[in-house]
Amino acid sequence: MAGSPPSAADFYKGRTVKMVIGFDSGNTVDTWARIIAPYLAKRLGATVVISNQGGGGGLVARNELSRTVKPDGLTIMMDPSGALMPPWLLNAEGVAYDITKFEYLGGLRDSEPGIAVSAKSPYTSVEKLQKAGKQIRFAVSGVSSLISIHALNAIEVLNLNAMVGAGYKNSAAYLLAMTQAEADAICSPLESVKRWEREGQAKVLLLTALERDKQFPDVPCFPEVAKLSDSAMSLLKALPANGKIVFAPPGTPKERVEFLKDSLTAVLAEKALQDDIIKMTKYWPGTISGDEMQKSVAGSGHAKDANIAYYKSLMSKYVK
C-alpha cells in the first residue's frame, strides 16, 4: 500500500522558497521582505531567498507569477496592494493577471493615504482648500496607483477646484514638488505625511478613509468633512485594503497555502520581528490576514465595472 502523502510541514523542510519582489532592491516592500524572510525561513524549516524582478512597477513579476510560475508553494510574492490592485481594477494595459485568482497569505498593513500641504501653505484646513481662489495641483506617481485613486476621490468628494499631475517617482519626489511650490498638495500614506508634519515640512489635513486611523487619531476622515453619497460610500468601501501583501500563484495546493498562511501569521506576531519593523518605520503598522485580504479582493472584483466607469470619468476631469 502507498504511504500517506507528506504533510505541508514536511514538504517545506530543507526546501528553498523564493519570495519575489516586483521592484529593485531598496524599495520599502523589498526592505520589509528582507526583514521578514529569515523569520519565515525559521518557521518553515526552509531557506527563503528574495528575488527582485523589477519592471513595470511590479507588472512583469505579477504576470509571470500568474501565468508561468509553477504553483507548488515554493514561489510567493510580496507586493504593495496599491501597486497590485488598481491596474487590474482599471483594466490597465499589459495586465495579464487576475487579483481574484491569487492565494493571499497575509501581510503588513499600511495606513490609508492622507492629504497634506506644505507647512508654509495658506491652505491650513480642508475648508480653505475648498475655498481656494485658484486650481489646486496634486502631485502623485501614476494615474492608476492606489494613491492617485485616493487623490481623485478626495477632489471629487470635497468638490475641489483641482487637478492631478502624475509622473513623480516616489513620495520624496512629490514632497519636494510641494515644498518647491510645484504642487499645492500631495496624497501619501498617512504615516509618511505625519512624519513630514513632525519634521516641519507638511501639514496633514485629511485621511482619505471612512474612519480615523487608530495610530493617528487626530486626523479627520471623509465623513467628518463631507457628505458622502451612497454611490461614493460604496466605491470607497470597495477599495482594496492598503498594505504589503504576500500571496502565492493561482492553483497552489490548498494544504500548502494554509501552512504558509499559518506560518506567516505566526511570524508577524513575533515581538522580535515587530521590533525590527519598528526600528525602520518608528511604529508597528499592524497586520492583514490572508482571509481578510481575500475578502477585500473579492469585494473589489465585484465592484470592478463600477470602479472602471467611475475612475475613468474622474481621470478625464482631473488628470492633466
Mean of all residue pLDDT scores within the chain: 89
CATH fold group of domain 8-110+242-307: D-Maltodextrin-Binding Protein; domain 2 (3.40.190)
Alpha-carbon span 43 to 34, nearest angstrom: 15
CATH topology of 8-110+242-307 equal to that of 113-238?
yes
Query: What cell does 104 get?
Result: 493571499
Pairing state between β 136-139 and 202-207:
unpaired
Q: Is the dihedral of CA 169, 174, 177, 179 positive or negative?
A: negative
Please enumerate in sequence order all residues whose Cβ is within 8 A of that of 302, keeping only pairs 6 or more positions apart, or say none. 238
CA-CA distance, 272 to 213, in Å (whole number)? 24
At 1 the pLDDT is 45
Grid coordinates representing 304? 470592478
**pLDDT at residue 49 in the model:** 98
Q: Is the dihedral of CA 294, 292, 25, 51 positive or negative?
A: negative
Q: Are 95 and 181 in contact (CB under 8 A)?
A: no
94-107 average pLDDT score: 95
Q: Taking 50 as the threshold, does the pLDDT of residue 163 lie above it?
A: yes
Give the strands of the sheet with 136-139, arranged side by side.
162-165, 136-139, 185-189, 113-118, 202-207
- Answer yes or no: is pLDDT of 44 > 90: yes
As a whole number, mean pLDDT of residues 72-76 equals 98
**Between 3 and 24, where is the model more confident?**
24
- What is the per-residue pLDDT across 115-144, written as a single tens digit (0 to 9) for each? 999 999 999 999 999 999 899 999 887 777
User: What dotted CATH number matches 113-238?
Assistant: 3.40.190.10
pLDDT at res. 309: 83
Q: Are 202 and 184 in contact (CB under 8 A)?
A: no
Query: What would the pLDDT profile of 188-235 be if each residue is shown by its tens digit?
Result: 888 888 989 999 999 999 999 999 998 889 999 999 998 888 877 877
38 vs 216, higher pLDDT = 38
Summarised one tens digit per residue, pLDDT across range 246-304 is 999 999 999 999 999 999 999 999 999 999 999 887 778 889 999 999 988 887 777 78
Q: Is 212 in contact with 76 (CB distance < 8 Å)?
A: no
Tell me the mean pLDDT in the region 111-115: 89
Helical (H) or strand (E) element with 59: helix 59-67
- Where exactly are the structural domains of the chain? 8-110+242-307, 113-238
